[in-house]
Amino acid sequence: MSLRSVSPTLTGRIPFHRRVWSKLVADIDPGSVHVVSVYMSFLTGLTAAPSFAACFVWCGFQTGNAAQLGLAIARLFTPDHQKTFSFQKMDQQALTSLLSFISGTLLGQIGNRVGGRRRAWLVGSTMGTMLLMMAATLAAHLSGEDGLANGRGDPSWKTPVGMTALGFLSAAMGLQGAIGTWIDLFNDPFLFAFKHVHTRDIRAFGCFALILGALISRVLLGILGSIETIGIVIGFRAVLAVWWFLLPDAPFSEEVQMLDIWKGWKLPYNLNIICGYKAFSYLVVSWVSGMSVWMIGFLADILDTEVGGLASYSYDPSTMQNASCTVLGGVANIIESIPFMY
């Protein structure tokens, strides 16, 4: 009679596929995500810059796009010399970005079913944003446009294929925003404390990472072009997907008690409490962050002018007003698109 093989469980040798599955279905440790949160803010800046350079539409900050559509409707009721009945190209691009962002956010609702801290969702959604950005790269290439606008009146990505690239980028940002809904930016009672506050400082680093990402992305756009820049951002997102897998699991005492993933769904865990500092923090921090990002674009435009620097830069008050309105209109969405986690 042949001897039966010893069970792998009894010998302590868990099969590889079971170890991978256990790793995927486990929650990550909330205390280990501070650095990766800053990195995701950096990715936000990298991803948002190409769409703004092409058509002055922030693919991740949708409050301004929604307000722009409201202004487009309001033009129907203005005096005769200001009234317009045409659906202008910039309004079309804003609508495309808004609807695509909403589509990505709806896709991100899967995370509410699987679990916002579950590694399988974090890795899978990151790979989903990579696929959406690959589609954006392909559409930008097929459009034949250079991806750099000559001015607000002459945007790039104005063909149907170019607007498709804008839509895929916006959907990717919507999906990333769904990943980062654990907490709100700068929702901290020690926001203005003159001492080391870990949670506040991590979020501040994230804010600077956003600006740095936009700066680097704009430099790459000027040197390589939009297609190559988006491809580089995809590579950075691949690093994020691997990073999620390497983070430690949550301690057993903090794991969410739930049914097996095949037997049912669970409600979101660790719902965040909105404190009284939220509105004020939104206003101050988002306005400063938005103006900083706009200033980067302002300086980049100066560098793109002919020899002469500031002397050759044509100051347009209407452009300044539009930029300010976009910044103030994007107060909430700047926060939504910069994911931070406790």
Q: Which domain CATH number covers 133?
A: 1.20.1250
Angle CA(259)–CA(260)–CA(262) in degrees, nearest 5?
Answer: 125
At 252 the pLDDT is 61
Rounded CA separation 289/207 (Å): 7
At 333 the pLDDT is 44
At 193 the pLDDT is 61
Rounded CA separation 68/47 (Å): 21
Give the largest Cα separation in the chain, rounded. Answer: 99
Q: Write the CB contacts of 264 (distance below 8 Å, at least 6 apart in sequence).
A: 258
Residue 118 carries which DSSP code?
A: B
At 194 the pLDDT is 66
- Per the domain annotation, does 142 fall within a domain? yes
Rounded CA separation 331/291 (Å): 11
Chain centroid offset of residue 39 CA: 11
- Per the domain annotation, does 225 fall within a domain? yes
At 232 the pLDDT is 93
- Per the domain annotation, does 232 fall within a domain? yes
Helix (H) or strand (E) holding 205: helix 198-223
**Token match 């501070």: residue?**
34
Which residues does residue 27 pair with via DSSP β-bridges, in sequence order?
A: 118
For 229, the token pair is 């820049």
Q: What are phi and psi of 162, to 5 degrees?
A: -65, -40
Q: Exposed, middle or buried by CB within 10 Å (0-12, 13-18, 19+), for 332?
A: middle
Q: Taking a C-beta distance cutoff of 8 angstroms, is the pair 323, 291 a contact?
A: no
The total domain count for the chain is: 1
At 263 the pLDDT is 38
The model's pTM is 0.63
pLDDT tens string for the chain (342 positions)?
Answer: 445 444 555 456 778 778 878 888 888 887 788 788 888 888 988 998 999 999 999 888 887 888 888 888 887 777 766 666 677 888 899 999 999 998 988 888 787 788 778 888 889 889 999 999 999 999 999 999 988 888 887 889 989 999 999 999 999 998 887 555 433 443 455 555 666 766 667 777 777 888 888 889 988 998 998 899 999 999 999 999 999 888 888 776 444 444 343 334 333 333 333 333 343 444 444 444 444 544 544 444 444 443 333 333 333 433 333 433 433 344 344 434 444 333
- Per the domain annotation, does 282 fall within a domain? yes
- Per the domain annotation, does 167 fall within a domain? yes
Question: Coil, helix or strand for 266?
Answer: coil
Q: Taking a C-beta distance cutoff of 8 angstroms, is the pair 168, 60 a contact?
A: no
Rounded CA separation 274/293 (Å): 27
List the domain range (segments joined by +) for residue 110: 30-74+84-246+265-336
- Per the domain annotation, does 18 fall within a domain? no
At 159 the pLDDT is 92
Q: Write the CB contacts of 103 (distance below 8 Å, at least 6 apart in sequence).
A: 171, 174
- Per the domain annotation, does 118 fall within a domain? yes
Angle CA(330)–CA(164)–CA(69) in degrees, nearest 5?
Answer: 35
- Per the domain annotation, does 2 fall within a domain? no
Q: What are phi and psi of 101, to 5 degrees?
A: -60, -45
CA-based nearest residue to 340, from 213, 235, 210, 168: 210
Cα(first)–Cα(last) distance of the chain, in Å?
58
Residue 274 carries which DSSP code?
A: P
